[in-house]
Structures are given as structure tokens and as C-alpha cells.
């Protein structure tokens, strides 16, 4: 259940930030600069997916093929979710004032950071070592 909630939070973070970036890009003097703010959220989504799928534990125990599979799955899922979030935000075209859009960018960056921390917390046992996913 916690993994599904984490996926929902990170997906909503990507969608809200995409909607905010679309609103901010309309008034931006330089093309594409606001889109760079999606990179930390995408990185957080990818790393969280890798950890939750068991890639970090596989890497720590030397199971390179499993870790590589988790990495490939995480990158693929992150790219697909990003495309869906951006296309959905573009299709919906939510009217957001610039100040609120900037606030949404900051909030989604914080939410993605907290999501990454939650993913690492899910993958670590109380002794401080990674939980092997078997």
C-alpha cells in the first residue's frame, strides 16, 4: 500500500509541475528554461523506483543482472510516466497564475524529495542495511 501511495504522490508531483511549467513557459523570455525544473523530479522518481523495485538491495548484494533489470524498469517507467504527465497537463491546460505556478514547482520539488526519502526508508531495515528483495 505504501508503494502505491508513493507512486501516486510522485506521479501527481510530475503532473502538477508539468501544469505549472506550461503556465510559466507562456510568459518566460527564454524557451524551455522552466522545463529544466522537471529534471530533479524525474531523477527522484527514477531513483525511488529503482530502490522500491529492489535494485539497491540487489546492487548491494552483488546481483548485477537484477540491479540492471531494476534500473531498466525504473528508467522506462519514469519516461512513460513523464510523457503521460506532460501530455495530460498539455491537454488539460489548467489556468494557473504565475505566482501559484512557482509555488507548485517548489512544492512538487519538495514532494519528490520526500518521496525519495520514503523510498529509501522502505528499503532499509532498522539495522541500517538494505532489505534484500527475494
In a domain, 70, yes or no: yes
Residue 95 lies in a domain: yes
Any domain includes 129 = no
Asked if residue 2 belongs to a domain, the reply is no
Q: What is the pLDDT of residue 8?
A: 83
- Which parts of the chain have pLDDT scores under 70? 1, 28, 124-134
d(CA 93, CA 56): 37
The parent domain of residue 111 ranges over: 17-24+34-119
pLDDT at 87: 94
105 grid coordinates? 514547482
Three-class DSSP labels, 92-115: HCCCCCHHHHHHHHHHHHHHHHHH
In a domain, 131, yes or no: no
pTM of the shown model: 0.77
- The number of domains in the chain is 1
Amino acid at each position: 500500500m505504501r508503494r502505491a501511495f508513493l507512486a501516486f504522490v510522485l506521479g501527481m508531483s510530475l503532473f502538477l509541475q508539468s501544469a505549472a511549467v506550461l503556465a510559466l513557459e507562456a510568459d518566460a523570455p527564454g524557451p524551455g528554461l522552466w522545463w529544466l525544473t522537471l529534471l530533479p523530479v524525474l531523477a527522484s522518481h527514477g531513483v525511488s523506483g529503482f530502490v522500491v523495485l529492489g535494485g539497491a538491495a540487489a546492487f548491494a548484494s552483488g546481483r548485477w543482472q537484477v540491479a540492471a533489470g531494476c534500473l531498466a524498469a525504473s528508467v522506462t517507467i519514469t519516461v512513460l510516466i513523464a510523457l503521460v504527465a506532460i501530455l495530460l497537463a498539455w491537454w488539460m491546460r489548467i489556468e494557473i497564475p504565475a505566482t501559484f505556478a512557482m509555488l507548485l514547482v517548489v512544492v512538487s520539488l519538495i514532494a519528490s524529495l520526500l518521496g525519495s526519502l520514503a523510498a529509501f526508508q522502505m528499503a532499509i531495515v532498522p539495522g541500517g542495511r538494505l532489505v534484500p528483495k527475494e
